[in-house]
Amino acid sequence: MPAPVDPSLVAQQAHAAIFLARIAADALSVFVLVRLLYYPRHRNKDFVFSFSLFNAINFLICHLLGNNTIEVGFAFGLFAIFSILRYRTVAVPIREMAYLLVSVTLGLINALASLPSGWIELVVANAGLLALVAILDRDGTLPHENAIVILYDKPELLVPARNEELLADLRQRTGLQVHRAQVDRFDLVRDMARIRAFHYTTTTIGAALDGAGDGD
């Protein structure tokens, strides 16, 4: 006669299997997001570290502390906390903040989705979110207006009546199709001006540098 099966042991094994499945789903999703979508385009190893670590921490906190009575409020609380985080040493570009938000969201989804009944929803949510990132963060989707800061040595061209001459001079000297310029500051002592030259591009490489030079 076979020995009776301990129900608690079966429950523990099922819980462990679901936990490992959640980890596998989350690890695969964040690998696709960070290593296959983000890094090949933006080449910033520091953000790869941050996205992966935020995702892992969020996943473990949600899984270990979440339960049926608090999981909804708990998830929204963590989502709010992580979504408003900022680094104090450097300004985080908008695109990187969006990737951080996606990595946090993946951790929440994979940790708190109802399993095993919700496998289809979990797979669709992960795949749909990653597909949306892949579609939006690619070259050629929408023109992007970039701005470069220039110390300009021909302030006489900054008068409104000579705007076309100014744009032609900027195009010739920068090699960019500058379509407008904005004066930030005049330096009457050195007879120079700090201006922003705006041009369109369909590539996102270097977009994180937009607005660089805002400080003095």
pLDDT tens-digit readout, 86-133: 555 556 778 888 898 899 889 888 888 777 777 888 899 999 999 999
Does 116 lie in the same domain as 70? yes
Q: What are the DSSP E strand ranges found in the chain? A: 144-152, 178-187, 192-201
pLDDT tens readout for residues 11-70: 777 778 888 888 999 999 999 999 999 998 888 888 888 889 889 988 887 777 765 555
Q: Domain boundary residue among 108, 136, 164?
A: 136
Q: Is the pTM of this model over 0.85?
A: no
**Structure tokens, 177:** 């199709």
Does 152 lie in the same domain as 48? no
State the pLDDT at residue 31: 94
Return d(Cα 179, Cα 83) in angstroms, integer. 35
Q: Does the pLDDT of residue 158 top 80, yes or no?
A: yes
Residue with tokens 């997001």: 33
CB atoms near residue 69 (< 10 Å) = 8
**Residue at 119 is within a domain:** yes
Total structural domains within the chain: 2
Long-range pairs of 172-177 with CB within 8 A, sequence gap ≥ 24: 174/148, 174/150, 176/148
